[in-house]
Amino acid sequence: MSIYQENAKQCRCCGKHVPLPTVLREYNGTTLCPTTFSNVMEYKRLWSTIGSRPPGNIRKHFSDYVQQLVEETIDKKY
């Protein structure tokens, strides 16, 4: 098994990565593929811009996994 196959198992955004990620990112101690990492950063940016949880018409474009990762770490003092 290649190192990319082993590393891809660390990202839990989906059952199987095709193509396999060659680089992984980390968000709050969670290893993510580049696509999920980008989605997390965008969802977090939207949350900060809006000042609260984005409305459903925006949330529908982000997976439950991405929303969960951000909602566990966002500052909810807004």
| pLDDT tens digit at each of 78 positions of the chain | 677 777 777 777 877 777 878 888 999 998 898 899 999 999 999 999 999 999 999 999 999 999 999 999 886 554
pLDDT value of position 40:
96
How far is Cα 42 from Cα 53, in angstroms, rounded to an integer? 13
Nearest CA to 23 out of 46, 3, 41, 42 is that of: 3
Whether this model's pTM surpasses 0.85 = no
Helices vs strands, H then E, count in the chain: 4, 2
